[in-house]
Amino acid sequence: MKYRAALTIGLIVALNIPLHATSVRRLGFDDLVTRAGSIIEGSVIGSQTYRSGDGKLILTSYTIKVQETLKGRAQQTLTITTIGGKIGNTILHVSGMPAFSPGEKAILFLEQSQSYTTVVGLNQGKFAISNNEVSNSVDGLSFPDALPGKPVKMPLDEFKRQIKRRLPK
């Protein structure tokens, strides 16, 4: 499944087809908690953009300083990899793919995809932290049921309580 997604993205890049939305499975809060191998609160301390081993994709790896681990185990820093970025004059943009800014703080729902750590459900699994609130974005995502996505916004402490309530005892 993940190979098929990478192949599809590779073909889109090779054929230079513009994307305006990426179709993904709609994930509810329970789905995010269940699918995530780890859930962390952290801040972006660096990034590196490079070409994939076969040279067909542009990847960006973000270094995250972990402040709190809500599920699973995480080291003090970890690397999250996304498809997309800019190298020279070449830009690869995948709609709905999470992107991060230096210093940005977020709660991230993470999973392993081959040798990479990625965000579950693209933007659905990235919750930016600002003014003691979390929010995600579903911009650039479309869902098989054709209904619009509903972003989440709530106080940070309540969001953490909701996560912990859904974790196995």
- The answer to whether residues 37 and 72 touch, using CB atoms and an 8 Å cutoff, is yes
Domain range holding 82?
A: 2-166
Q: What band does 14 get if pLDDT is binned at 50, 70 and 90? A: very low
**How far is the C-alpha of 97 from the C-alpha of 110, rounded, in Å?**
13
For 73-101, what is the HEC assignment?
CCCCEEEEEEECEEECCEEECCCCCCCCC
Model confidence band, residue 82 (pLDDT cutoffs 50, 70, 90): very high
Strands 133-135, 38-51: pairing is unpaired
CA dist., res. 58 & res. 92, Å (int) = 6
What's residue 21's pLDDT?
62
Q: Is the pLDDT of residue 11 over 90?
A: no
At 130, give phi and psi (nearest 5°). -150, 130
Q: Look at residue 15 in the predicted model and tell me its pLDDT.
A: 41
Domain count, the chain: 1
Could you read off the pLDDT of 124-137 as tens digits, one per residue? Answer: 999 999 999 999 99
Mean per-residue pLDDT, 96-121: 94
Task: Give the mean model confidence (pLDDT) for residues 85-110.
Answer: 95
| pLDDT over threshold 50, residue 94 | yes
CATH of the domain at 65: 2.40.50
- Which comes out higher in pLDDT, residue 29 or 17? 29
The whole model's pTM is what? 0.85
More confident call, 150 vs 108: 108
